[in-house]
Structure 1
Amino acid sequence: MFSVLGAGVAGLCAATALAERGARVEVIDPSPDPTGASWYAGGMLAPFCEGEAAPQEVVVAGQAARDWWAARVPGVLTHGTLVVAPPRDQAELGRFARATQGHAPVDPGVLEPDLAGRFARGLFFADEAHLDPRAALQALRDRLLTLGAELHFGTDARPRGQVIDCRGLSARGELAGLRAVRGEMLLLRCDGFHLHRPVRLLHPRFPCYIVPRGPGLFMVGATMIETDQDGPITARSVMELLSAAYALHPALAEAALIETGAGLRPAFADNIPRIVHQGDRIFINGLYRHGYLMAPALAERLAQTLFQEVPLAS
């Protein structure tokens, strides 16, 4: 029996990888309807774009995420990622191009007709994908039930067997070195504007991304704030994200703001997600801003080790 603590993206991916190998699995979360930082993610499966700041191991491991998710949940769209910058920030586009791989130059208006004439140049990362995080989490819950796993939500049930701790920041008491990185997001409705893929808008002070979530719906995120302060999104972040959205297209100034959200993401000092064997527990933690990108790779690595498909790392 494996007891997975935490029903965010790390916990559900770990439980799925174990259950698919025929293991008895239970997922335990004290919340009756677990959300947390996973609920407010952008859902971009963008390993090459993340290479701007992430180490190469994240870029390499993250390339498996698209196919892992597509094999298990509906709605994974491989439409690529478009990266643009305002005219005054064209140097940012050159810097981003030098720091990343897997892209080609593009006229943004060719890919996204609603952006025609607004940006002279862009970068297109054709092999990247995106999904709706909330739909993906629910699909993994449903899959786990089909595989015979037990889901214990809204309880502090005593774990049984090998404990896989995926509680994020709630594990700081047992796992040293974690810090909180706050992410904030908006959900806008703008029926007169269309995007087919995530668009990253580069800006020296507040770069952001805009992800389509269905007809007329757009998720705008995400600020990166080094703080332990939880709670609602700040007014400053709302203004900055709305300003960035307006810089992408003026039509978004008329959008309805239908949701705001914030979450604290766990990170180690080097921002690299990892598996930690400590005492009688195994931790998957420190996913930083790479939750949906890196959780599948960590889950598969864990399952391969536990089922002796690969040697246990020293």
Structure 2
Amino acid sequence: MRVQVVGAGVAGLCVANELSSRGVEVSLHDTYRPPGPHACSWWAGGMLAPFCEGESAEEPVIRLGTRAASWWQKFTGAVEYKGSLVLSSKRDKNELLRFASMTRQHRWVDHLSIAELEPDLAGHIRQGLYFDSEAHLDPRVALARLVDTLASQGVVCTQEEPLSDILTIDCRGLAARDALADLRGVKGEMVILKNPELNISRPVRFIHPRMPLYIVPRGSGVYMLGATMIESSDRSRITARSMLELLSAAYALHPAFAESEVLEIGVDVRPAFPDNLPRIRRRGNRLFINGLYRHGYLLAPALAR
């Protein structure tokens, strides 16, 4: 069987690896070649946190997302199994109670347990939820390893135009709006900070009155901050408001973030359908895999399978 995959972001690379591992002859096509900042998956947080996502996501996201970590570990070996922490200040306890009521597979932690899990947060936060079965990865490392795995099997991404007469799996993300009229863009903004004096080992979601924040460790004192979801297809730079609120929320979690070095600021647009659930659609000899919204790393393996 021969298949060509168009688009080498997280969806396309997962599909290509899954097919190649099953003995399918695969060719991979991307205008820019992977991995790189042209793809929204480059700017992702990399949280493999299906139960946390249950706070706002539909049931399929949770059910299919529970299989993601094992897939990523199999193909990349880049997964960190340290769980997720959801924290709040004392004044926002009602929001934490709401989060707990909407999710499962967690346990309550007090200031002593938080200090045991994350010593650098001791004394700053006194209440939270711990999702011990969740995981995370560095998206850029994971993408690069998928590319290397494919290369070892003789599959190299090309900038050549795909053929028109063989089965094509279209994973172009928002660029596929030329064929999928109900696809929309949801803008996400992120900041990467470096603070060698601060040691946080697992993803932390901080419930903040203005902007819920997530912080994902990348190692060596580097942290990715994100949270914004803006209905827009504009890939221009981050707004001053978003930057201010991201950094303010990080400072509220731990004042040491105020001394961090800003390494990078990123903006991109996630592809989403009206209900924020992905789709697999077939038109002739072309299959479209799209609409992963904010769940690219969580759902791409399931869609690929």
Shift of 1:208: 1.2
Shift of 1:280: 2.3
**Hey, what's the Cα distance between the residues in 1 that align with 2:237 and 2:279?**
28
Match of 1:172 among 177, 186, 204: 177
Local SS of the residue matching 2:178? coil
**Hey, what's the Cα distance between the residues in 2 that align with 1:186 and 1:57?**
29
Q: Give the conservation status (yes or no) of the 8 Å contact 2:183–2:291.
A: yes
> Cα distance 1:160–1:185, how it changes in 2: closer, same or farther (>3 A)?
farther
- Measured against aligned partners, the alpha-carbon deviations of 1:167-222 in whole angstroms (never above 9, x if no partner) come to 00000010121110011100000011011100000124310100110021000003
Local SS of the residue matching 2:76? coil
Q: Give the conservation status (yes or no) of the 8 Å contact 1:106–1:124.
A: yes
Match of 1:99 among 93, 102, 115: 102
- Measured against aligned partners, the alpha-carbon deviations of 1:102-145 in whole angstroms (never above 9, x if no partner) come to 10011322211111111111100000000000000000001011
> Cα distance 1:282–1:32, how it changes in 2: closer, same or farther (>3 A)?
closer
Shift of 1:295: 0.1
Partner of 1:37: 40
Partner of 1:267: 272
Map 1:18-57 to 2 at 5 A. 18-35=19-36, 36-57=39-60
Match of 1:145 among 151, 162, 166: 151
Local SS of the residue matching 2:202? coil
Local SS of the residue matching 1:183? strand
Partner of 1:292: 297
Corresponding letter in the other structure for 2:75:
R
- Measured against aligned partners, the alpha-carbon deviations of 1:236-277 in whole angstroms (never above 9, x if no partner) come to 211111111101100000000010001100000000112111
- Say whether residues 1:220 and 2:225 are aligned partners: yes
> Cα distance 1:201–1:140, how it changes in 2: closer, same or farther (>3 A)?
same
Return 5+ residue gaps in structure 1 as ranges: 301-314
Partner of 1:77: 80
Local SS of the residue matching 2:64? helix
Corresponding letter in the other structure for 1:178:
L
Partner of 2:187: 182
Shift of 1:157: 4.6
Partner of 1:5: 6
Shift of 1:34: 4.3
More off after superposition, 223-232 vs 30-39: 30-39
Partner of 2:16: 15
**Hey, what's the Cα distance between the residues in 1 that align with 2:45 and 2:146?**
17
Partner of 1:127: 133
Corresponding letter in the other structure for 1:227:
S
**Hey, what's the Cα distance between the residues in 2 that align with 1:180 and 1:42?**
18
Match of 1:208 among 210, 213, 223: 213
Partner of 2:261: 256
More off after superposition, 157-166 vs 114-123: 157-166
Local SS of the residue matching 1:145? helix
Q: Give the conservation status (yes or no) of the 8 Å contact 2:271–2:291.
A: yes
- Measured against aligned partners, the alpha-carbon deviations of 1:133-167 in whole angstroms (never above 9, x if no partner) come to 000000000101112223114x4454662100000
Corresponding letter in the other structure for 1:37:
C
Return 5+ residue gaps in structure 2 as ranges: none
Q: Give the conservation status (yes or no) of the 8 Å contact 1:75–1:132.
A: yes
Corresponding letter in the other structure for 2:228:
T
Shift of 1:228: 1.4
- How many residue pairs are counted as aligned between the two chains? 299
**Hey, what's the Cα distance between the residues in 2 that align with 1:7 and 1:159?**
18
Corresponding letter in the other structure for 1:4:
V
Corresponding letter in the other structure for 1:132:
D
**Hey, what's the Cα distance between the residues in 2 that align with 1:182 and 1:193?**
29
Q: Give the conservation status (yes or no) of the 8 Å contact 2:204–2:214.
A: yes
TM-score (norm 2): 0.95
Map 1:108-119 to 2 at 5 A. 108-119=114-125
Q: Give the conservation status (yes or no) of the 8 Å contact 1:93–1:122.
A: yes
TM-score (norm 1): 0.93
Q: Give the conservation status (yes or no) of the 8 Å contact 1:11–1:166.
A: yes
Local SS of the residue matching 1:4? strand
